[in-house]
Amino acid sequence: MPSAPLTVAVVQLSSQDGVAENLHRVTALVAEAARGGAELVALPENFAYMGEEEGKRAIAEDVDEGAGPIVTTLRSAAREHGTWIVAGGMPEASGDRDRPFNTSLLVAPDGRLVARYRKVHLFDVDLADGTKLLESNATRAGDEACATTFTTADGRELGLGMTICYDLRFPELFRRLLDRGVRIVTVPAAFTVTTGKDHWHVLLRARAIENQVFVLAPAQHGRHPRGRTTYGKSLVVDPWGDVIAQAGEGEGVAFARLDFAAQDRVRASLPCIGHRRL
C-alpha cells in the first residue's frame, strides 16, 4: 500500500475567451507547480476557454487525433516538467458539432493521454441572482464514470477518480469511483459565486469524508465573458474532511502533501466503507 506523502498542486485560473493567452497561463502555472515539487497538477474546468458557446464549438478538438493546440500544449507541458496533469475540462469533438463533450484528460509525464472523462451531469439552472445556465444546449453528456491509475516517481500506483464541477452534487458517482479503488478524486470546476459561497466547501468536504478520499478541486476565479463570475477557492481536502490547501484570490497555485498512511488510519479507525448495506 502507498505510504510516502505525494506532493500535488491545484491551479486556479481566470480564463477568458482567448485560447492562446489561456494556454500561456496554463503553461506558466504548470511550470510553477512542477518547480514546487508537484508530481500531479490539476487544472480547472474551462482552462483553455471561457466565452461564447459558438467559440467553444469552434475550438473543440479530436482528442484521439491529439494534434490540436490544447492537447498539444498539455502534452508538451507534461513532458517538459515531468509531471502528471489532470486537465480539468475542455471541449472535445463529439460528432455533434453543436454539442461537444466537456472532457477532462489525464496526461502522463511522457505526454501520453492515459485517461479521459466526459462530464456526465450537465448544469441546467436558473439561479436566484438571475443567472441562467443551460450547459446541455451546447454540451453533449458523457455516460461513464472514470477511475484510472497513475504511477508516482517512486513507482507506486495510485487510484484516481475524475469528475467535473456539477458532478460534485451526485454522491452516487463518487461511490462508484470508490468501489473502483480510488484514493484521490479530482473535481475541476467553474462554480458560480452564488452557489460557491454556500456549497463549494461543504460539498467537497462531504465527498471527501463519506468516501475517505483526498479531493483535489482546482477552480476558475473572477470575471469572464458573457457576464460570468466564478467563485475560486481552489482547494485540497483530506479524507477526514480537513482543507489542507487553498488558493488565494486571483490566479495561482496551491500545494498539498497527500499522506496516504494517514488515509489508511482514517479508513481503519472509522471503517464505514465496509459497513455499507445498500
The band of 253, judged by pLDDT with boundaries at 50, 70 and 90, is very high
The band of 126, judged by pLDDT with boundaries at 50, 70 and 90, is confident
What's at 32, amino acid-wise? E
Of all residues in the chain, the percent with pLDDT exceeding 70 is 99
Cα–Cα distances in angstroms (integers) from residue 259 to residues 57, 82, 173, 179, in the given order: 40, 21, 24, 21
Burial class of residue 156, CB neighbours in 10 A (0-12, 13-18, 19+) = middle
For residue 218, pLDDT beyond 60: yes
Question: Mean pLDDT, to the nearest integer, of 202-222?
Answer: 98
pLDDT for 53: 92
* Beta carbons of 89 and 59 less than 8 angstroms apart: no
pLDDT for 189: 98
Give the whole-angstrom CA distance, residue 81 versus residue 30. 8
The band of 226, judged by pLDDT with boundaries at 50, 70 and 90, is confident
The band of 132, judged by pLDDT with boundaries at 50, 70 and 90, is confident
pLDDT for 1: 55
Q: Which residues contact 197 (CB under 8 A, 6 or more apart)?
A: 231
Using DSSP, state whether 157 is helix, strand or coil: strand
* Beta carbons of 81 and 37 less than 8 angstroms apart: no
The band of 128, judged by pLDDT with boundaries at 50, 70 and 90, is confident
For residue 106, pLDDT beyond 70: yes
- Going from N- to C-terminal start, the domains of the chain cover 6-275
226 sits in the region (left: phi over 0; alpha: psi -120 to 50; else beta) called left
For residue 30, pLDDT beyond 80: yes
The band of 108, judged by pLDDT with boundaries at 50, 70 and 90, is very high
pTM of the model: 0.96
For residue 278, pLDDT beyond 80: yes
* Arithmetic mean of pLDDT over the chain: 96
- CATH number, domain 6-275: 3.60.110.10
Q: Which residues contact 185 (CB under 8 A, 6 or more apart)?
A: 160, 161, 162, 163, 174, 177, 207, 211, 213, 214, 215, 216
Of all residues in the chain, the percent with pLDDT exceeding 90 is 91
Q: List, for residues 144-191, the tens digit of each pLDDT value.
A: 999 999 999 999 999 999 999 999 999 999 999 999 999 999 999 999
Cα–Cα distances in angstroms (integers) from residue 269 to residues 122, 233, 259, 261, 274, in the given order: 36, 30, 16, 12, 12
Question: Mean pLDDT, to the nearest integer, of 270-276?
Answer: 95
For residue 131, pLDDT beyond 90: no
Catalytic residue numbers, as ranges: 45, 119, 165
Q: List, for residues 46-91, the tens digit of each pLDDT value.
A: 999 999 999 999 999 999 988 999 999 999 999 999 999 999 999 9
